[in-house]
Each structure stands twice: as structure tokens, then as C-alpha cells.
Chains A and B, each alone.
Chain A
Amino acid sequence: MDPVLLVASIMVSATPILLAAIGEMVVEKSGVLNLGVEGMMIVGAVMGFAIAVSSGSPVLGFLGAAIASAVFSLAFGLLTQYLLSNQVATGLGLTLVGLGLSALIGSNYEGQRAPSLAKLDIPGLGDIPTLGPMLFAHDFVVYLSLALVAAVWAFLKYTRAGLILRAVGEDHESAHALGYKVVRVRMMAIAFGGACAGLGGAYVSLVRVPQWTEGMTAGAGWIALAIVVFASWRPLGVLIGAYLFGGVTVIQLNLQAAGTTVPVELLSMSPYLITIIVLVIISARGAHGAPGSLGRPFHAAS
């Protein structure tokens, strides 16, 4: 198995879930559980594709996908933050609406091809000879996703705004008592999560596949949710989780293609089984780190 090719494949396979998961992690850090990642991703996938096709620019496509999914996620924010609806149910509803909406929007874009995707490579980076094609021959979104992980890490650890966000997620009553605008912080986090999921979806429709077909994210959003918990709500953990999951998926296909004798059923359920096993190991070690107010509605009584 050629490691250079393998790493490149894993990066492409991991990037959509990494993007969605890092966004969702910020949402959950603020104390909100948004199960609608799949719906936001598919909206991003269709909007990104549609905008890239009509404008001819994949970069505009990614931008449009981020904006569209952020706006879409605000529907969830409105319901859960202002109308105090149950977050689990609202998240599921968001997925349902997203799947239906994207299919209707996308019906005109079936069978089309997004133009000029090859130009996505950042000139220069891919040509650095020493680091070779393994790490530096990718499109800018791969690097954007890695940069986002670093930025989220720095934001949560070193900035005042990050501190407020964590405070809101840990104990919204105290945060409110300290004068922080709980709902406003959470709305911003939700929009950020939506934008990231939208980027992830657009990566599927513009780079990984690349085309638009109905329901094409096929469960990636759920995997992103699993990765956040898997990561114990730490950015580095999200990165490892996404690459591990992407890695297992790619490696099992490679093992099949290489003609291994391991039963196919076992290989194709391996990504999920391995996720469960790692979840168990992490929780057995006692590292949870779930934000204290995760999933609980907040209503300012005073």
C-alpha cells in the first residue's frame, strides 16, 4: 500500500467530517446540542454546488455554502433559543427539512458538473518539493479545515470571547448572572456550526465526489456528531477522530481492493465498531469533558 496515496485519500475523506465536527464542537461548547448537522451539510452541499456552477467559481461556492447553512441553522437557533423548543427534536427536524429542501433546490443541478475545480489547488504550496505530494498537494479547503481546528483551539483557550463561550456552556445560569448574553452567544455559536457544516457539505459535492445528487452526504453529519463526543470536546481530539474515521473507511476499502481475505461485512462495519471501542476506552479512562449545560434549555427568569 502506497502511504503517499493513502494519506491523500484519507485527507479527502476526512475533511468533510472534520469541518462539520469542529463547528458542532463549538456549538456544543456553548451548551447547545444540534443534531441537525446532516441537514446543514446537505444544504451546504447543494448550495455550494449550485453557486459554483452558476458563478463558475468553486471559492464562491464554498462561501455561499457557508452562508446558506449558517442562515439555515438559525432556524434551529430561533426555535431552541427563543422559543425554547427541545433541542433533540428540533435538530432532527432540521435534518428532515434540510434533506427535503436540498432535494427540491438541487433538482435542476442533477447531472451537471462543477467547473474549474482543478484550479482549487493553491499555487505554490503543492510545489514545495521537500514535503512532497503527501501533505501539500491538496486544495485550500483541506488546509482551511486544519487552520480552523487550530483557530478554534486558540479561540477557546486564549481569548476572552472563548472563555465566555465556555462559561455559557458550562453553567448558563451563572454566566447569565455575570451579565453575559447567553442567547446571543449561543446564536453565534450555532451560526458558526452551520457555516462549518455547510463547508463540509460543499466539500463533498465540489471536491470529494464531485457532483450533486440527492441525499449525497449519506450520514456524514451523524459521524461528525459522534466525533465530537469521541474527541471529548477538544479540538485536537476532533482532528484525530475525523482522520481516524476517514482513515478506517479508506483503509477498509483499500484492504478489499488489495484482495485481503478478511470478511467484507466485518470490514464495512469496522469504522463504526472502532468508533464504539474508542468511545469506550476514552470514557473508561474517565475523560468526559461534556459541557455542563449541554442540551438544557435556557430561560432568563429575571
Chain B
Amino acid sequence: MIRLEKRPNPSRLWTALTPVLAVVLTMLVGGIMFALLGKPPLEAIRTIFWDPLFHPQFAGYSRPQLLVKAGPLILIAIGLSVGFRAGIWNIGAEGQYIMGAVCGAAVGLAFYPADTWLLFPLMAIAGALGGWAWAMIPAFLKTRFGTNEILVSLMLVYVAENILASASAGWLRNPEGMGFPGSRNFKQWASVYNDELVINTGMHWGVVAAFIAVIAAYVLMARHIQGFNIRLTGEAPRAARFSGVSPARIIFLCLGISGALAGMAGLFEVTGPAGQISIDFNSGYGFTAIIVAFLGRLNPFGILLAGLLMALTYIGGELAQLMLGLPGASIQLFQGMLLFFLLATDVFTNYRVRLTGREVA
């Protein structure tokens, strides 16, 4: 029988090795899948993992795009990871992302066509507040009534989507848009356009914020007393309470951080790469970020790498569709497999595999 034996400490070797192992396994099984679909497996895998970084024709463009795609994922995932460490399961980041974008954009559009550098920071704050406020609903309900935050935050995603639909077709609609849905395009409004800070790097304010969040989260979780309290609440709730940590404070703190970061990510996206509030500008970042948070094992630097890896599979997947005609669904399946293999191989990090003679139950 195979038996698992818990390691006293997570293995450092395996922590580094499992992502590599998972990627290799995904390539193998994914390759078989591509072959079954009648596509050249090696070429498909090269297109997904290699071409976005090194293809002579595309890489110049797609390398910076990795940052553009990964930025909001990392920013949201960092916020989520703080809550997940405390055992607070905010899976409604998508809603907070939408509300941040809507609030920030609404504040900006109220001043249209003002030409001042002050407006963009103001919008960023409004975006963060919008996401924060949306996350405060489950936080308040959880602390006041003990309502489950997983479901409230999830239900609020659907409510936010309805608000987004009414905003883009109604009260934020571009008055010069001939009645079509969608707000004014921020790309045509220089003072609030969240453009690349350095040309051809993909670095816009959202990416900068993501990097800052990674470092701040590291400092918070590893060096700060609140970070300790958060981890304690997650690992030993009872011990946390005995040592005087208020569970309500932790809930407000964690949901507040994740809501604000998701809201900011939404604002940066809508003023930058997406360009405008439209019926479905959100495209699922809030849900993908949950996967990124776990791929990164809730560790800030892990999340940074996981966000980039996820972005790579998206962009590589698009190239594979374009050049090899792979169906879009196969890319989705490929990403799911990657997550599965990472989760599966993770067992080696925390457990030692032993072969024993007989099952002991």
C-alpha cells in the first residue's frame, strides 16, 4: 500500500519542483488531447508556452501583453489570498471588480471632459471604494448575522452584472454613442487614459499596483502583527480568539482588502486595456483570480508567478487558435488540467510518500 506521511515542514525542494512537474504533466496529457483533436501536439505546446515569449513575429507584442493580462489577475488574487489565509472565502471578486470599475468610471465621467491629472487618482480611489463597499456587504452580513460569505459574495456577482448592464445601456452610456450601449472611451480622453507608462512594456498603473500589492502583501503576512493575526485566524480560530484577535475585525479587514484591490483592478482595466464600461468588459477576471491565488499557493510571490503563467496560457492559447485552429474549448480544458496537476502534485510538498506492507486503518 502507498501511504502518505505528513512532513513536519513543507519540503522546499518539492515546493520548487511541483510547478515544473505539473507543467510537464500538462504538456504530456495536453499533447495527447491535441493529437486526438488532429492537431500537431508538439507544435501546439510550443505555440502555447514558447511563442508568446520568443516567436520572432509575435513576441515583441505578446511579451508586454503578458503583464497586461496578468496585472489584474495578480492584483485581485493578492487580495483574495489574504482572506483565504484567514479562512474567509470571498469568491465574489468578480462583482467587486465590476463595481470598482463602474464606480470609478462614474466618478470620472461626472467630470467629463475635465483636463486635470487629479482626476485619475480620484477615479482610482473611487474604484477601490466601490469594490470595498461591495465586499463590505458580505462582511457586514457575516459579522452581524453570521451569513455565509461564500454565497453572499457569489450572489452579489449576479447583482453587479445587472448593475453593469444597466450602467452601460443607461446611465453611463456614451451620449455621443447613437444609443448604442457602452460608456465613453477613456482611451480618447488623455487625462484619464491609463496608458502604458513606458512604451512597449505593457506597464500601466494596474500592473504597477499589482507589483506593489505583491510586496505589501508579503510585508503584511510575514512581518506585520495583523498578518500574523490573519494567519492565526485561518489556522487556529480558537487560539486566535483566546489571544484577543477579534474575528469581526479580521473579516472586515480581509474582505475590505480583497474588495478594494479587486475594485482598483477593475478601474485600471476599464480606463486602460478595456477602454470603456461595456456590458461584458469583465470577462471573468474575478473567478480566474481565485485559481491564480491557489496556483500561487496563497503566497505573494507564488501568485506573481502563477498570474504570469496563467496569462501565458491565455495568450499562447489565442496564438494556438490563430495559427493551428485549435478550438477555444481545448484551451479551457488545458488550463483546467494545469490547475489539476498542480493541485495533485502539491501532495509531495506536504507529505512524504511511503510504501508499506498493509493498509492500517
A and B associate: yes
Contact with A along B321-341 (1 / 0, CB 8 A): 000000111111111110110
A284 touches B340 (CB 8 A): no
Name the one of B148, B158, B291, B347 contacting A269, with C-beta atoms under 8 angstroms: B158
Among the stretches A122-130, A194-202, A271-279, the one at the interface with B is A271-279
Name the one of B141, B291, B332 contacting A99, with C-beta atoms under 8 angstroms: B332
B156 surroundings in chain A (CB, below 8 A): 272, 276
B145 touches A99 (CB 8 A): no
Residues of chain A from 132 to 150 with CB closer than 8 A to chain B in the complex: none
A299 in the interface (beta carbon within 8 A):
yes
B346 in the interface (beta carbon within 8 A):
yes
B16 in the interface (beta carbon within 8 A):
no
Closest chain-A Cβ to B138's Cβ sits at a distance in Å of 9
Name the one of A89, A103, A226, A272 contacting B332, with C-beta atoms under 8 angstroms: A103
Residues of chain A from 170 to 189 with CB closer than 8 A to chain B in the complex: 179, 181
A268 in the interface (beta carbon within 8 A):
yes
Residues of chain B from 262 to 293 with CB closer than 8 A to chain A in the complex: 287, 290-291
Known contacts being A89-B290, A92-B291, is A269 close to B333, with CB within 8 Å? no
What is the size category of the interface that chain A forms with chain B? 35 or more
A89 surroundings in chain B (CB, below 8 A): 290-291, 294-295, 339, 343
B165 in the interface (beta carbon within 8 A):
yes
B155 touches A96 (CB 8 A): no
A93 touches B343 (CB 8 A): yes
Known contacts being A84-B351, A85-B346, A104-B329, is A97 close to B148, with CB within 8 Å? no
B158 touches A272 (CB 8 A): yes
Closest chain-B Cβ to A168's Cβ sits at a distance in Å of 14
Name the one of B145, B291, B330 contacting A100, with C-beta atoms under 8 angstroms: B330
B224 in the interface (beta carbon within 8 A):
no
Name the one of A86, A179, A181, A230 contacting B151, with C-beta atoms under 8 angstroms: A230
B15 in the interface (beta carbon within 8 A):
no
Contact with B along A214-244 (1 / 0, CB 8 A): 1000010010011001100000000000000
B185 in the interface (beta carbon within 8 A):
no
Closest chain-A Cβ to B317's Cβ sits at a distance in Å of 11
Name the one of A97, A226, A299 contacting B6, with C-beta atoms under 8 angstroms: A299
Cα–Cα distance between A151 and B162 once the two chains are bound (Å): 38
A112 surroundings in chain B (CB, below 8 A): none
A93 surroundings in chain B (CB, below 8 A): 291, 336, 339-340, 343
B350 in the interface (beta carbon within 8 A):
yes
B4 in the interface (beta carbon within 8 A):
yes
B158 touches A179 (CB 8 A): no
B166 in the interface (beta carbon within 8 A):
yes
Cα–Cα distance between A101 and B154 once the two chains are bound (Å): 24
Q: How many residues does chain B have at the interface if contact means C-beta atoms less than 8 Å apart?
A: 49
A265 touches B162 (CB 8 A): yes
Name the residue on B nearest A78 (C-beta): B344
Contact with B along A25-40 (1 / 0, CB 8 A): 0000000000100000
Name the residue on B nearest A271 (C-beta): B158
B333 touches A276 (CB 8 A): no
Closest chain-B Cβ to A1's Cβ sits at a distance in Å of 24
Cα–Cα distance between A98 and B327 once the two chains are bound (Å): 15
Max count, chain B CB within 10 A of own CB: residue among A100, A104, A230:
A100
Contact with A along B157-172 (1 / 0, CB 8 A): 0110011011000000
Cα–Cα distance between A283 and B149 once the two chains are bound (Å): 11
B246 in the interface (beta carbon within 8 A):
no
Name the residue on B nearest A107 (C-beta): B327
A88 in the interface (beta carbon within 8 A):
yes
A79 in the interface (beta carbon within 8 A):
yes
**Secondary structure dominating the interface of A:** helix
B158 surroundings in chain A (CB, below 8 A): 219, 269, 272
A83 in the interface (beta carbon within 8 A):
yes
A279 touches B159 (CB 8 A): no
A253 in the interface (beta carbon within 8 A):
no
A301 in the interface (beta carbon within 8 A):
yes
Known contacts being A84-B351, A276-B155, is A96 close to B6, with CB within 8 Å? no
Closest chain-A Cβ to B236's Cβ sits at a distance in Å of 13
Residues of chain B from 1 to 39 with CB closer than 8 A to chain A in the complex: 4, 6, 37
B334 touches A100 (CB 8 A): yes
A280 surroundings in chain B (CB, below 8 A): 141, 145, 147
Cα–Cα distance between A296 and B290 once the two chains are bound (Å): 18
Name the one of B145, B155, B295 contacting A272, with C-beta atoms under 8 angstroms: B155
Cα–Cα distance between A290 and B346 once the two chains are bound (Å): 28
Cα–Cα distance between A100 and B313 once the two chains are bound (Å): 14
Known contacts being A83-B343, A84-B351, A89-B291, is A179 close to B361, with CB within 8 Å? yes
Cα–Cα distance between A176 and B141 once the two chains are bound (Å): 35
B165 surroundings in chain A (CB, below 8 A): 265
Cα–Cα distance between A283 and B330 once the two chains are bound (Å): 42
Residues of B within 8 A of A (CB): 4, 6, 37, 84, 89, 91, 141, 145-148, 150-152, 154-156, 158-159, 162-163, 165-166, 287, 290-291, 294-295, 327-337, 339-340, 343-344, 346-347, 350-351, 360-361
The 23 sampled A-B contact pairs (Cβ below 8 Å) are: A79-B340, A84-B4, A84-B351, A85-B344, A88-B84, A88-B91, A92-B291, A92-B339, A99-B329, A100-B333, A101-B329, A104-B37, A104-B327, A225-B154, A226-B155, A229-B150, A268-B162, A269-B159, A273-B159, A276-B155, A279-B148, A286-B146, A299-B351
Residues of A within 8 A of B (CB): 35, 75, 79, 83-86, 88-90, 92-94, 96-101, 103-104, 107, 179, 181, 214, 219, 222, 225-226, 229-230, 265, 268-269, 272-273, 275-276, 279-280, 283-284, 286, 288, 290, 299-302
